[in-house]
């Protein structure tokens, strides 16, 4: 009896991804209820981190998206913080704001992994579209009783671009979190009793990128496994 490669390679990481998202949401919710002694908003925290790094010219704007949609846009040098982070005065808001400010500092300093990731974005988008087409045609042929090993082999090889993008994202995110932790403690934005909360929020967020990287590797192996069916 053959074992379904989907169940072996993909399903475990789908479950892990769900658990990581639950951890992020629960950690953010928990530490959103704990205010910092300094009482700075997320926007003020980001401004403090950027100022202490000697970085100017970065705009800080409220984002229209939902909570945890915070991001740094290198094209416009803009930090966009979700409502709970931009105006929040919690430990969670400080952690997320400082992390995104860390990305702005990486961009200004031309941090090598970030440069590589930004360069890989167009390739990753194009590869994803091509792989999607190849896999769709491959499954259609399988449904009609034919085999399409060449299509799945090509999909697996091309998907390597997405794997590279996911893997190079890890040092970018870990470094931004280290910068955030150091900046928050060195500036006194968070006191010792609040540091555990910052670490919890940053660690939970980092777990989603780890799972995403593992999932991308699993996807590539899944396509390669289909090529051998």
**Tens of pLDDT along 122-162?**
999 999 999 999 999 998 988 888 888 899 999 999 999 99
Q: What are the sequence ranges of the domains in the chain?
A: 5-41+107-227
Q: How far apart are CA 105 and CA 116, in angstroms?
A: 16
173 catalytic residue (yes or no): no
Looking at the predicted structure, is the pLDDT value of residue 204 above 90? Answer: yes
Dihedral (Cα; 80, 85, 91, 95), 10-degree rounding: -20
- Report the pLDDT value the prediction gives residue 3, as an integer from 0 to 100: 54
Of the listed ranges 36-50, 52-66, 77-91, 166-180, the least confidently predicted one is 52-66
- Please give the structure tokens belonging to residue 224: 């390669």
Q: 44, 61, 100, 173: which one is catalytic? A: 100
- Report the pLDDT value the prediction gives residue 68, as an integer from 0 to 100: 74
Cα 105 versus chain centre, distance = 17
Question: What is the model's pTM?
Answer: 0.88
Task: Evaluate whether 61 touches 78 at the Cβ level (below 8 Å).
Answer: yes
């Amino acid at each position: 009896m053959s074992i379904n490669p989907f169940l072996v390679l993909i399903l475990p990481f789908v479950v892990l991804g769900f658990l990581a998202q639950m951890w992020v949401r629960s950690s953010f919710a928990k530490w959103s209820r704990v205010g910092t002694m300094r009482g700075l908003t997320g926007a003020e925290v980001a401004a403090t981190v950027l100022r202490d790094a000697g970085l100017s010219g970065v705009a800080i704007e409220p984002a229209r998206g939902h909570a945890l949609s915070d991001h740094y846009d290198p094209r416009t040098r803009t930090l966009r913080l979700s409502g709970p982070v931009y105006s929040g005065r919690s430990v969670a808001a400080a952690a997320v704001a400082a992390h995104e400010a860390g990305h702005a500092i990486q961009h200004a300093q031309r941090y090598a992994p970030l440069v590589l990731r930004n360069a890989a974005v167009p390739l990753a988008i194009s590869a994803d579209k091509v792989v999607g087409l190849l896999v769709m045609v491959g499954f259609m042929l399988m449904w009609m009783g034919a085999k399409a090993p060449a299509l799945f082999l090509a999909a697996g090889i091309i998907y390597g671009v997405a794997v590279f993008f996911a893997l190079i994202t890890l040092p970018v995110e870990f470094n931004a979190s280290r910068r955030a932790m150091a900046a928050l403690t060195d500036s006194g934005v968070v006191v010792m009793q609040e540091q555990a909360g910052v670490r919890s929020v940053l660690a939970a967020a980092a777990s989603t990128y780890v799972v995403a990287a593992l999932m991308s590797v699993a996807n590539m192996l899944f396509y390669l496994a289909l090529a051998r069916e």
